[in-house]
Amino acid sequence: MKKKKRATAKTPTKSYLTNKLDQSCSLITRSKGRCVKCGEQRYQQLQCCHIYSRTYKSVRWDLLNLLCMCASCHRWGHNNPCLFTEFVQTYLGAEQYEELKARAEPTSHWKIHEMQELREANESAMKRLGVWYRK
């Protein structure tokens, strides 16, 4: 019988690191503490919104691509893509918006060691921000 590969902190797999990076980026984004659209501050309402969806691997964990939004504004964004794009252009400003577009274009394949480095960087940022994964 084939032994099932288990992810541990010592031998991380891509899916383990993907999970950790999704979680750490979300925590860092939500630590901003308020919805970028309506100003909602109740933490339970805050979500991490991807401007370019998670399928755009090159910016999946790029903080420029992530917005702290409340559940209701997040839903609004997905239901109104044209208005959402206008909102993002205004929120980021022309320069950052163009920067994000440029970063989102190349299809990128993350290497394990790159994911590991980003995970370590995120976890030090989380320590500074005083946020951590749910137990």
Residues that bind Zn ion (CB under 5 A): 35, 37-38, 40, 70, 73
State how far the Cα of 54 lies from the Cα of 38, in Å rounded to an integer: 23
Residues in the chain: 135
- Residue that is written with structure tokens 């309402």 in the block: 45
Least spacing, CB of residue 53 vs Zn ion, in Å = 19
3-state secondary structure of 110: coil
Structure-block tokens of residue 26 = 């979300």
Least spacing, CB of residue 130 vs Zn ion, in Å = 23
By C-beta, is 17 or 70 nearer to Zn ion?
70
Structure-block tokens of residue 47 = 């979500």
Least spacing, CB of residue 87 vs Zn ion, in Å = 11
Burial code (b: 16+ CB inside 10 Å, e: under 16) for 122-131 equals: bbebbeeeee
Least spacing, CB of residue 63 vs Zn ion, in Å = 19
By C-beta, is 19 or 72 nearer to Zn ion?
72
By C-beta, is 59 or 68 nearer to Zn ion?
68
By C-beta, is 1 or 39 nearer to Zn ion?
39
